[in-house]
């Protein structure tokens, strides 16, 4: 039914109103030029996963809220303030995942992955959603690349391996001025004592800290060390350090992690204010930053040990350690450090048609080249020989294959070398061999 005059005007107004026809705040389109950066990062992630023997796992974007309430902690900002709830007909309390570790722990339990192997090395990448205030390096939809080791007898070598992977990832992307910060946030034995010490340190400062921290002081005082609020930052430096209060188990675990890192020649600094914003951590926690250009975006990656998470989700206590990197932050830093932009590999040949008949036969020729492993490109929508040659030059292609009515009639095709501009006519049915021969010659 055609809209009445008034209705049409109303709809037009709605469509053109600000905010309706653009991406939601804090979310972005990923344009083709951006994909080259992403693909570069993904390929390094896959390469490292393969090298260190991690297997890919994917979990849904939607999860029951309980996964994060129990896993990440209902008092964390991520769960308390930043989760996107999805309104649906039947299943309520579905949320868009704000992170990947709790869902992986859920999947590990749901599919009894521990039964098939006592050690699971898993990696993933995918979109995460947090309703945060958008700013440099902080979006509402962003992507994680993550590595998790579940099982493995609480061995500190896996803490070191996870850190090593993120170090190598940054190095392979040629990111400079890397800083690795490490801390231990203890275990169920030593943490209660440390919390008490923190509470007594903050007791006479309670009125000066932010409202969130005043609340956290009672339930989760370690989170005060993570607060970025101006009124709280100043108190962090003189706060008691967990270091000398760690129980012997946590202390020797951390010592061993350091020994492995020393062995690997990975430099690190100890930061006793590093506590991470998720409740599932115990013992080792770490974050990677850069200094100088790009430093304003904060941590590039972070993670740590989470020995209690599987238990918090209803399973048996299972030692685990992992970390995740923010893909957008990596790209921001790579651009800020003016690293060379990844380029598309130029195709090997450019198919140029002259006339309608040749145009009709072009797709078949391209298919023949592709199935022989010769990458080919074209400008089939452009009819001018000059324009097609110019485009072939611009794309950095090595050989142009030119054919028109005469060549079709003679069952031949012209191969033009775009570097020395020499050209030669060859029989059409030998085109694959002739092109391969020339490409090999060019490599030598
Ligand atoms: P996370 O520190 O919350 O850890 O996130 C990991 C990385 O994701 C951060 O270091 C940062 O680069 C990026 N990131 C976080 N929030 C945003 C945002 N709003 N916009 C853009 N990038 C962001 C985790 O989520 C844990 N699951 C990591 C982990 C895995 N721990 C153990 N295993």
Let me know if domain 32-190+246-336 sits in CATH 3.30.930.10.
yes
Q: How far apart are the C-alpha atoms of 204 and 194, rounded to whole Å?
A: 17
Q: What stretches in the chain show pLDDT beneath 70?
A: 1-19, 91
Whole-number Å distance, alpha carbon 401 to ligand 1 midpoint, is 49
Domain 349-443 top-level CATH class: alpha beta
Residues of the chain with CATH 3.30.930.10: 32-190+246-336
Whole-number Å distance, alpha carbon 414 to ligand 1 midpoint, is 55
Burial of 27 (0-12, 13-18, 19+ CB in 10 A): middle
Counting atoms of ligand 1 from 1, which one is nearest the CA of 325? 7
Q: How far apart are the C-alpha atoms of 403 and 414, rounded to whole Å?
A: 6
Whole-number Å distance, alpha carbon 302 to ligand 1 midpoint, is 6
Pocket test for ligand 1, best of 181, 318, 329, 331 (most atoms within 8 A of CB): 329
DSSP-H helix ranges across 182-321: 191-202, 211-219, 230-236, 248-263, 309-312
pLDDT the model gives residue 202: 94
pLDDT the model gives residue 212: 87
Residues of the chain with CATH 3.40.50.800: 349-443
Residue located nearest, by CA, to atom 22 of ligand 1: 326
List b or e across 35-72, with b for residues whose CB sees 16 or more CB atoms inside 10 angstroms.
eebbebbeebbeebbeebebeebebeeebebebbbbbb
Q: What is the mean pLDDT of the chain?
A: 92
pLDDT the model gives residue 309: 97
**Long-range contacts of the stretch 90-93 (C-beta < 8 A, 24+):** 91/64, 93/64, 93/65, 93/66
Q: How far apart are the C-alpha atoms of 243 and 253, rounded to whole Å?
A: 12
Whole-number Å distance, alpha carbon 232 to ligand 1 midpoint, is 22
Q: How far apart are the C-alpha atoms of 6 and 86, rounded to whole Å?
A: 33
Residues with C-beta less than 6 Å from any ligand 1 atom: 99-101, 130, 132, 137-139, 142, 144, 146, 148, 278, 299-304, 306, 322-326, 328-329
Q: Which among 141, 160, 177, 155 is positioned nearest to 23, based on CA atoms? A: 141
């Amino acid at each position: 039914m055609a809209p009445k005059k008034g209705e049409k005007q109303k709809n037009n107004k709605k469509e053109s109103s600000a905010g309706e026809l653009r991406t939601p705040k804090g979310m972005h389109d990923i344009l083709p030029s951006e994909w080259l950066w992403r693909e570069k990062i993904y390929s390094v992630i896959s390469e490292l996963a393969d090298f260190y023997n991690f297997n890919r796992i994917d979990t849904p974007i939607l999860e029951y809220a309980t996964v994060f309430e129990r896993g990440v902690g209902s008092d964390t900002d991520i769960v308390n303030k930043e989760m996107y709830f999805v309104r649906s007909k039947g299943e309520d309390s579905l949320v868009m995942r704000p992170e990947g570790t709790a869902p992986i722990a859920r999947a590990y339990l749901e599919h009894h992955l521990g039964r098939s192997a006592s050690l699971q090395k898993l990696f993933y990448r995918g979109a995460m959603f947090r309703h945060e205030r958008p700013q440099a390096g902080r979006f509402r939809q962003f992507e994680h690349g993550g590595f998790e080791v579940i099982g493995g007898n609480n061995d500190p070598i896996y803490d070191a391996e996870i850190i090593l992977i993120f170090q190598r990832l940054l190095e392979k992307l040629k990111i400079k001025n890397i800083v690795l910060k490490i801390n231990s946030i203890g275990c169920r034995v030593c943490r209660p004592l440390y919390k008490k010490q923190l509470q007594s340190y903050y007791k006479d400062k309670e009125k000066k800290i932010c409202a969130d921290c005043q609340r956290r002081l009672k339930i989760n005082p370690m989170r005060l060390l993570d607060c970025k609020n101006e009124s709280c930052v100043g108190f962090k430096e003189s706060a008691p350090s967990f270091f000398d209060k760690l129980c012997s188990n946590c202390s020797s675990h951390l010592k061993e992690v350091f020994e492995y890192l020393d062995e690997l020649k990975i430099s690190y600094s100890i930061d006793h204010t590093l506590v991470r914003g998720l409740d599932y951590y115990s013992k080792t926690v770490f974050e990677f930053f850069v200094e100088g250009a790009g430093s304003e975006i904060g941590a590039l990656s972070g993670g740590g040990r989470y020995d209690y998470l599987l238990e918090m989700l209803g399973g048996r206590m299972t030692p685990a350690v992992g970390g995740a990197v923010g893909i957008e932050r990596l790209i921001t830093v790579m651009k800020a450090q003016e690293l060379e932009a990844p380029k598309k590999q130029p195709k090997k040949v450019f198919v140029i048609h002259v006339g309608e008949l040749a145009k009709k036969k072009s797709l078949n020729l391209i298919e023949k080249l592709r199935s022989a492993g010769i990458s080919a490109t074209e400008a089939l929508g452009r009819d001018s020989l000059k324009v097609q040659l110019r485009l072939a030059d611009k794309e950095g292609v090595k050989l142009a294959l030119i054919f028109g009515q005469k060549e079709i009639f003679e069952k031949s095709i012209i191969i033009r070398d775009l570097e020395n501009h020499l050209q030669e006519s060859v029989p059409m049915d030998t085109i694959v061999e002739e092109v391969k021969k020339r490409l090999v010659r060019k490599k030598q």
